[in-house]
Amino acid sequence: MIVLYAANGCSFSTASPRKNNVLVRIPHYTIIDSFSVMQNNDHIMRTSKPEILSPAGDWIGLRAALDAGCDAVYFGVKGLNMRAGAENFTAASLPKIARLCHEADARAYLALNTIVYEKELGLIQKLLGKAGAAGVDAVICWDVAVLQAARRAGIPVHVSTQMSVANTESMLFFIKHFDIRRFVLARECSLVDIRKIRRQLKNVLGQKAASIELEVFAHGAMCVSVSGRCFMSQFHYGTSANRGECYQPCRREYTVTALDEDISFTLGTNYIMSPKDLCTLPFIEKLIEAGVAGLKIEGRNRSPEYVGTVTDAYRQAVDFYTANKGRRGFQEQFEQFKKNLMHNLDRVYHRGFSSGFFLGKPIDEWTDGPGSRAAVRKEYVGIVTKHYKKAGVAEIKVESNEFRQGDEIMFQGPTTGTFTQGVASIEINHEKIDTARKGSLVAVKVDQVTRKNDKVYVVKANS
């Protein structure tokens, strides 16, 4: 369960009910060939809602995304994706990833969107063969060699934003020659651009245009080079952003020094190469109305609580919109609902928020310092040593930071995912105490099942 600040006073219905605090979603369909809609493994069905795609950089993040109600998870394998800094997965993990996604009525998308070198072509073909056998639903790529290999393996392709597709002529080329049905648009595209593309596709393709899907990044980090074609990290550290290895030199503070005089200046209060994070929640209805089929959340390098919180916020917003649009008082309630969800987004990692290019070219949308602007942070406490299911109690070994009654604590694990709760009471040997100190073994009532070796954190406000 994610700790949420609910939209108080907003009564609404949701088309996707929750059971035991897990979103119950209608299954989906996916388009897989020749402008037709076909059933895929009995777990897919097209809806009018845009698909919410969540990032997974490890098993905890994957579980957090599914528990928060995403429609699809995108992930990479070691060495061949744009987030090499994440833990990532191995080819041997593909069957388990696909199974976990399909059990949650979600889809599994493999991101193979790096530069591919000559020596890796054989590896790509083998990997895609394993992905097809595992039941992976689509491959996200832009290199034509990967695209063709995916087609040979019988896996649908989503053209990555790395291809910078921003017009219908480019799309028609891929549709004609490669039978592509989904395009992750270039980040430079505005809402006006998206609407124009949608209209032009209908003009050219007629009814077949309905089978062409437009996906956009809706939330998360933005790169100063827009689509990741940056060489700063490569030049300075020998680690290529185009291989997912960026050291992010753009996110740092710089000093300008005069060559002919002993004078230097720090570059103002803005980090002029470090954009704020994208956040479309305040105008998410405009993306839906523009005909966007997929809302992608960036963040395979970010924490499980980020994945869970952001996914949940966009899930709630989309469900609220589709269930209540047109009702009396909807607009006022929706605006208040989004404001409350923004409080949740402010609790996890961000560099400040920007509308990106959707509302026009961003002006002066730079961060004003390094690191996160989140309202809270987590500090490591220890691990779960035992869970008493009948009593609903977790035994916690406190290895670092202490916590007190009334504090907010967070649990994370590969099967548990991530959830946060308040501490109602703490006991040692059935004796109540106020503070769990370093070195102690304490018992805490928990809202959900925990597991041995789950990590425990205390959540604290940032000043």
Beta bridge partners of 455: 383, 412
User: Quick one: 376-461 is in which CATH superfamily?
Assistant: Translation factors (2.40.30.10)
Beta bridge partners of 388: 393
Q: Which residues, 6 or more positions from 156, have their beta carbon under 8 angstroms from its beta carbon?
A: 30, 31, 32, 33, 137, 138, 139, 150, 181, 182
Which two three-digit tokens encode residue 291?
């005909």
d(CA 138, CA 128): 10
Count of other CB atoms within 10 angstroms of residue 332: 10
Mean pLDDT by 10 residues, the chain (463 residues): 37 37 32 31 51 96 97 90 65 97 98 89 94 97 94 96 94 96 94 97 96 96 66 61 61 73 65 79 96 96 95 97 95 96 94 88 67 88 97 97 96 96 96 96 97 97 86
Look at residues 321, 275, 318 and name the one whose alpha carbon lies nearest to residue 294.
318
Name the residue ranges covered by the structural domains of the chain: 18-222+275-354, 376-461
pLDDT score recorded for residue 257: 79
Is 137 within 8 Å of 97 (Cβ atoms)? Answer: no
Q: Which amino acid is at 225?
A: S
Is 230 within 8 Å of 241 (Cβ atoms)? Answer: yes
Which two three-digit tokens encode residue 406?
């009334």
Q: Which amino acid is at 273?
A: M
- Strands in 149-210 per DSSP E: 157-159, 182-184
d(CA 246, CA 357): 23
d(CA 373, CA 167): 35
For 304, the enclosing helix (H) or strand (E) is helix 304-324
**Which DSSP string corresponds to 40-103?**
-TT-----SSPEEEEEESSHHHHHHHHHTT-SEEEE-BTTSSS-TTS--B-GGGHHHHHHHHHH
| Residue 258: CA count within 13 A, CB half-sphere | 6
CATH topology of domain 18-222+275-354: TIM Barrel (3.20.20)
Look at residues 210, 292, 293, 176 and name the one whose alpha carbon lies nearest to residue 37.
210
Which two three-digit tokens encode residue 316?
């709630």
d(CA 58, CA 300): 8
pLDDT score recorded for residue 39: 32
The Cα-based distances of 100 to 30, 103, 130, 305, 432 in angstroms read 18, 5, 17, 19, 39
